[in-house]
Structure 1
Amino acid sequence: MESKKLAIEFGNKVRNKRKSLGITQENLALRCKFDRTYGGIIERGEVNITLEKVYRLAAVLECDVKELLP
Structure 2
Amino acid sequence: MKEKSEILVKFGSTVRNLRIQKGLSQEQLAHLSDVHRTYIGMIERAEKNVTLTSIQKIASGLGVSIIDLLEDDRRTN
- In 1: Cα distance, 2:10 partner to 2:57 partner: 18
Structure 2 residue 33 is the aligned partner of structure 1 residue 46: no
**Percent sequence identity over matched residues?**
38
What residue is the counterpart of 1:8 in the other structure?
9
What residue is the counterpart of 1:57 in the other structure?
58
Q: CA RMSD in A?
A: 1.3
**Matched residues, number:** 68
Q: Deviations over 1:24-58 (max 9, x none)?
A: 00111112121111110000111111101101111
TM-score w.r.t. structure 1 length?
A: 0.89
TM-score w.r.t. structure 2 length?
A: 0.81
Runs of 4+ in 1 over 3 A off after TM superposition: none
Bigger Rg over Cα: 2
Q: Which runs of 5+ in 1 are unaligned?
A: none
What residue is the counterpart of 1:34 in the other structure?
35
Q: Which runs of 5+ in 2 are unaligned?
A: 73-77
- In 2: Cα distance, 1:14 partner to 1:56 partner: 12
Structure of higher RCO (CA pairs closer than 8 Å, 6+ residues apart): 1
